[in-house]
Chains A and B, each alone.
Chain A
Amino acid sequence: MGETFGGYSIIGKPIPRVDARAKVTGEAKYAADIEVANMLWGYVKRSPYPHARILNIDTSKAERLPGVKAVITGKDFGGFKWGWSGPTRDEEPLAVKKVRYLYEGVAAVAAVDEDTASEACDLIEVEYEPLPGVFTPFEAMQEGAPLVHEDRPGNICVEYHWNFGDVDKAFAESYLIREDTFQTPRMAKGYLEPPAVVSYWPDSNHVVYIGAKGSPYFPYRILARCFNLPLSNVRIIAPTIGSDFGGTKNDMTPADFSAVMLAKKSGRPVKIVTTQFDALTTDLRRHPMWITMKTGVTKDGILTAIHTKIISDGGAYTRMSPLSNFLTGICMGLPYHLPAFKHDVVCYFTNNPSSAAMRGHGIYHTAFARECQMDMIAEELGIDRMEIRLRNVIKNPKPGTIYETINKVHVATAGTEECLKKVYDAVKWEKSEKADGYKAYGTGYATGTYLSGTNLSAHNACAAIVRICEDGSVNYLTGATDVGQGSDTILCAIVAEVLGIGLEDVDIKRVDSAFTPVDPGSYGSRVTVLAGHAAINAAQDAKRQLLEVAAQQFGVKPEDVEIKNKQVFVKSNPERNTSWERLVRTACYEAPGKVIIGRGYSTKGGVSHTLADFSKGVGDIGTNYSFTAQASEVEVDVETGVVKCTDNNVIAHDCGFPLNIQAVETQVQGGAYHQGVSAALYEEFKMDKGQTINANLIDYKRPRANEAPMSKVIHVVTNDPYGPFGAKEASEGSVCSAPPAMINAIYNATGVWIKNLPAQPEKVFWALKAKKEEKKGKKKK
C-alpha cells in the first residue's frame, strides 16, 4: 500500500473514481431511477411452462382494462429473430409459436401504473400445449429426446473439436496420466441492480432507449434491425449501471424489446423495471459444465499433453454459447507450456434459461480442472505443489520477444512466475499442520489467466473524441461503458495524463449513441486495453494540434514543447512557458480561431496478432493476457462441512501496469475473493425441471461482510507492449484462479477432493464421512 508505479502524474497511482461522488450521495441515476414526462409502466407476461406450444393468445380483456394503453404479443415483431451473431439468430423478442424456458416472455402491457400493467397481464389469456422438455445435457443428448429447436438435431447448440500436437503419442510416453471429471454449476451473474429500461419515440423514425446495458451498441444494432431503422436514428443512452459481469446487461431481454414496441404502439414513453426474481429466473447465467480432463506428465511433473472433454448446458437459445464454449479451450496453452492438447466440447440446448458470458468466461471451467489436477499430480509424484507449477510455467518473454502457444496464441508478457514467487513469500503459513478442535486449516495455490482486449471477428472498432473547450476543460466522448469496473475513471486519467492536465479537468460523457462513437462494449476485458488505446490516440491528436500552436508562439518545433501539470513549456528552456488555459485560449480565439478536436481509434496488436478462428481453435482471442497466482487459506469445520475463507489470503496479479491501483485492487479482491470464493463455496442455482428453486437472495447464497477475507493484492508489473501504458486487463483472471485455490485448500485441510462446485457444507460433510469410512475399511484389512 502507498506504492505507485511508473512515475506518472496521474496513472500508476490510486485514483479516486470520477463517478464516486454521485454514487455516494445517491445522485447517480440508474435505469430504474429515470423518469420521463408522460411515462407509462410496462409489464411482461411470462410463460408458466418451460417448454410449450403457444396455441392462442387472447388480449381482449387486457385491452379493455381502464388505464391500459397498449398490449403486444410476439406477433407484433413481424417474425423478427435475433441472436449474438448472424448464424445464431434463433430467438424472438416475445415467443410466438413456442416457449423454450420457464418465464419466457409471451406478451406485454403498458399502462398508467405498474399495478394496472400487472393486472392486465393477468387478464391476457394464453392457451398452451405443454411439451415434454429436456433439463440437462444428458437428457438432451438421448436418442429421441424432445427437441428444443426443431431444426437443431440432437439438441446440439455448438461443438468444437480441436487437435494440436500428437496427444496420443504424448500420453503413451507420459510417466503419469490422470483423468478426472469436474463440474461447474449454473451461476447467477450476481449484479445487484435488476435491469430496467425506459424507451420512447421522439417521432416515428427515431427511437430512444435508456437502459442498463454494458454494451449499448448491441441494442443499437439489434433495435435498428428489429424496427427497420438506420443506425443513426437509434439512440441508446447509458445511465449509471449497477454492474453486469458479462451477460444480460450486454444482451437483450423481453423487457427491452417490449418497452420499445409498447412505446411505439402507445405513442408514449414506457418504463419497465424488472425484479431480482426476474434476474434470478430468466437472466443469462454461467454455463453449467462437466469437464473431463486427462493430463499427462513426465516423471518430473512436466506437462506432456492434455485432452479435455466438456459437456455444457447452453439453455434454451444460442446467445453467445459459441463464444463461451470456444473460450474454454483457446487458452489451454497458458500459463504453462503445453506441447499438445485435444479439446472436445459439446454444448446442448435444454429447456432452461439461456447460459452466456460471465466473468472468467470459458477459461474459468478448464482453469478449475487443470489447477486442481496440478495439485493431484504433484501429490502423486511427491513434488511440492508450488514447485510443479514453477517447473511448467511460461517464463515472462524477454522484451521484444513473443511466446507462441501450440495453438498460435501470442503473448508478449506473462508474469505468472513472479506472481507465484511473490505469493509464496507473502503468505504466512506455518509448515506444521494447523488444527483447532473440530476446525482444520488448509492452504491452496492456483494460477489464473485471462484474455485482455478481446478481438472478435466482426465489429471491433472502438474510437474516442477529445474536445478541448475554450476554457481548457476537456470533453471526452467514448462508446466505452463503465459498469462499475472503473473505465470512466481510467479513460479520463489516460486523457489527462497524455495532455498533461489534471484528472478534474476531463469530463467524460457517458454513452449516447447519437453523439458518442461506436464501441463494442464491456465484455472480454476489452475496455481498458482497446478504449484505452483510443483514448491515448485521441488525446495525442488533440495535443498535437495544441503543440503546433505553442510551437508557433515560442518559435520552436512542436517536438520541443511539453505540457505537464498544466504548464506548457519549452523542454530545453522551461522558463519559456505559458499555462494550459492560456494556450487553449490562444488556439481557440486567435484569429481565425480553431476548434481543437482530437480523434483516435484503437489499433490492434501488431504483426503477430491474428484473428481467432473458432472452428480451428487458433489465433489471438486477446490483445494480451493477464496472469495471477492466488493463495487461499480455508477453515473447515470437519464435523459440519462448513468452509470459510480466512483473512490469510494473498493474490499476485499481473495486469501489465496498474493504471489505477485502487481500482485494480478492488477488482481483484472482488474477483478472487468475492465472486471466486462465492463460486467455490456458496453459489449454485438449484433447478427442478426448468424451474429455479432458489430464486431469491436468501436461498441463493452469496457471501457477505462477515465471510469476506481481508485479502491482500500484490501488483506484478510486466509492461505489456500492446497495452496502453503497458496495461492489460485486471481481475478476470482472478475469478479463474479462485475456485481451484479454494478446492486445493480444502483438500490440504481435509484430504477430500470436491470436484463439483460449490463446496457447500453438506457436500463436504458427506465427502469427509466417505473418507472416514474408507480409512476404517482400510484399517480393518
Chain B
Amino acid sequence: MIADFEYFAPKTVKEAVSLLSQYKDAKIIAGGQSLLVVLKQRLFTPEYLIDIKGISALDYINYEEGSGLRIGALTPHRAIEKSPVIRKYFPVLSEMESNVATIQTRNWGTIGGNLCHGDPAGDPAPVFTALNAKLKLVSLGGERIISVEEFSKDYLEVALEPGEILAEIQVPTPPPRTGTGYEKLMVMKGDMGIIGAAVSITLSEGDGVCKDARIVLGSAASVPLRVKEAEKVLIGKTINEGLLTKAGEIASREADPPSDVHGSAEYRREMVKVFVRRVARIALERAKEA
C-alpha cells in the first residue's frame, strides 16, 4: 500500500524545476512504471511527488541530418519504438525499445524516467552510450550537457544535481561507416537482460579497418559499463572472428556483474563473452553496409 504524499502536477519545465528547488526532497514521477512498484512495496515513502508526465513540451522526437536526433525526456518508449525517423536513421534504438518490458509499459513509461532510474539492467543507457549520446539537464539556474556515460554514478544513482531534471537526449548522427547493435540475454521476451551488450563500430572509409569501437554492457556492473580494454582489441585492426572472441573475453574480465536470482556472476561473465562477440559481429556487418 502506497503511503500518502503531497502532489504537484506542473505543466511546464519551468514550473517543474521551481517546485523541485522549493521541495528539496521531492521525488519526480514520469510514467511511474519503475517508481510505482517501489512505492507499492514501501521501499520509498517520499513526502512530495512532482508529476511531470503532463509536460507535453517534453514529448517529441526531432531529427536533423547535421545535428542528429533530439528526444524529449517524456517521450514514451513506444513512440521511440515506432518512430519512422528513428527506424530509418537509428534502427538500433527501435530494436532496443521493442524488447523493453511489454507494450503496456512502453505506452506509458518514458525514456527519461528509465534513464533517471539508473538501473544497470536498463536497456536505453548502454545503447545511448554506444551512440555517444548526450543529455540536457535543466534547473532553475540554467542547463548543462553531459554525456550519457557520465550520467550513471552507481546502482540506481544518477548525476542529477538537486533541482535538476532531465529534459532531452541528444544523439549525434553517427560517423560514416558506423554500425550499432544491441542485444540482451532474455529468458522471456521483454525481460530485463541477464546481460546486455551495446556495440558501435566505425570502419575507415578505404581499408575497412576499425576506426572506433564502443562496447557498453548492461547488468555487468553497478552502472552501464563501457569496457574500454575490450574496445582496444578491435580499434585499429581489421576485425575478424578471432578478434571478436578476444574482445568478448577481455570484456568479461572487465565486467563486475552481480549474482542474483537470475544468474550468478560467473554465468554473467560467460554471457558477456557471448554477447559482446555476437553484437560486435552485428555492428560490424552494419558498419560494412553503412
B-binding residues in A (CB < 8 A):
114-115, 118, 639-640, 642, 682, 686, 693-694, 698-699, 701, 703-704, 706-707, 760-762, 765-766, 769
Contacts and interface: CB of A to CB of B under 8 A. Distances in A.
Contact of B185 (A642, A707, A766): A642
A761 B185 contact: yes
Given A115-B1, A693-B261, A694-B261, A761 B189 contact: no
Nearest to B189: A706
Contacts of B189: 704, 706-707
A115 B2 CA distance: 9
B188 A699 contact: no
A762 to B, nearest CB: 4
A706 B261 contact: no
Given A115-B1, A693-B261, A765 B187 contact: no
B98 to A, nearest CB: 11
Interface in B223-281: 261-264, 267, 270-271, 274
Given A114-B1, A704-B189, A639 B274 contact: yes
Contact of A762 (B188, B192, B267, B274): B267
A647 to B, nearest CB: 15
Contacts of A694: 261
A659 B45 CA distance: 54
B262 A699 contact: yes
A703 B267 contact: no
A703 B185 CA distance: 15
Nearest to B185: A640
Given A640-B274, A762-B267, A765-B270, 9 more contacts: A115-B1, A639-B274, A642-B185, A693-B261, A694-B261, A701-B188, A704-B188, A707-B189, A760-B187
B79 interface: no
Contacts of A762: 263-264, 267
Nearest to B277: A639
Nearest to B41: A277
A701 B186 CA distance: 11
A682 B186 CA distance: 12
A703 B186 CA distance: 12
B282 interface: no
A761 B194 contact: yes
A94 to B, nearest CB: 21
Contacts of B261: 686, 693-694, 699
B55 to A, nearest CB: 29
Interface string B166-203: 00000000000000000001111111101000000000
Q: Which 5 pairs between the two chains have the least Cβ-Cβ distance? A: A706-B189, A762-B267, A639-B274, A694-B261, A699-B261
A706 B188 CA distance: 8
B267 A701 contact: no
A715 to B, nearest CB: 31
Nearest to A114: B1
27 contacts: A118-B1, A639-B274, A640-B185, A640-B274, A642-B186, A682-B187, A682-B188, A686-B261, A693-B261, A694-B261, A698-B191, A698-B192, A701-B188, A703-B188, A704-B190, A706-B188, A706-B189, A706-B190, A707-B188, A707-B189, A760-B187, A761-B185, A761-B194, A762-B264, A765-B267, A765-B270, A766-B267
Contacts of A703: 188
Nearest to B4: A115
Nearest to A277: B41
A114 B191 CA distance: 32
Contact of A640 (B188, B190, B192, B271): B271
Interface of B: 1, 185-192, 194, 261-264, 267, 270-271, 274
Contacts of B1: 114-115, 118
Contacts of A765: 267, 270
A115 B270 CA distance: 47
A760 B270 CA distance: 15
Contacts of A760: 187
> Which among B185, B191, B261, B271 has the highest number of chain A CB atoms within 10 Å?
B261
A452 to B, nearest CB: 33
B204 to A, nearest CB: 29
A687 to B, nearest CB: 11
Nearest to A700: B261
Contacts of A761: 185, 187, 194, 263
A183 B221 CA distance: 33
Contacts of A698: 191-192
Contacts of B263: 761-762
A521 B176 CA distance: 69
B245 to A, nearest CB: 12
Contacts of B185: 640, 642, 761
Contacts of A640: 185, 271, 274
Contacts of A115: 1
Contacts of B188: 682, 701, 703-704, 706-707
A694 B260 CA distance: 10
A194 to B, nearest CB: 14
Nearest to A682: B187
A701 B187 contact: yes
Nearest to A760: B187
Nearest to A115: B1
A762 B270 CA distance: 10
A642 B278 CA distance: 15
A682 B191 CA distance: 13
A196 to B, nearest CB: 16
Contacts of B270: 765, 769
A257 B153 CA distance: 49
Contacts of A707: 188-189
A701 B1 CA distance: 24
A709 to B, nearest CB: 14
Contacts of A686: 261
A489 to B, nearest CB: 31
Contacts of A766: 267
A331 B185 CA distance: 41
Contacts of B187: 642, 682, 701, 760-761
A640 B194 CA distance: 11
A769 B264 CA distance: 15
> Which among A118, A762, A766 has the highest number of chain B CB atoms within 10 Å?
A762
A440 to B, nearest CB: 15
A761 B261 CA distance: 12
A686 B270 CA distance: 22
Contacts of B190: 704, 706
A686 B191 CA distance: 18
B220 to A, nearest CB: 15
> Which among B188, B192, B194 has the highest number of chain A CB atoms within 10 Å?
B188
> Which among A639, A686, A693 has the highest number of chain B CB atoms within 10 Å?
A639
A706 B187 CA distance: 11
Contacts of A114: 1
Nearest to A769: B270
A642 B188 CA distance: 10
A699 B1 CA distance: 20
A115 B190 CA distance: 33
A188 to B, nearest CB: 14
B195 to A, nearest CB: 9
B102 to A, nearest CB: 8
Contacts of B264: 762
Nearest to B195: A640
A101 B150 CA distance: 46
B107 to A, nearest CB: 17
A665 B88 CA distance: 43
Contacts of A682: 187-188
A698 B190 CA distance: 10
A515 B61 CA distance: 63
A17 B270 CA distance: 50
A390 B174 CA distance: 62
B187 to A, nearest CB: 6
A266 to B, nearest CB: 21
A642 B271 CA distance: 11
A698 B41 CA distance: 14
Contacts of A704: 188-190
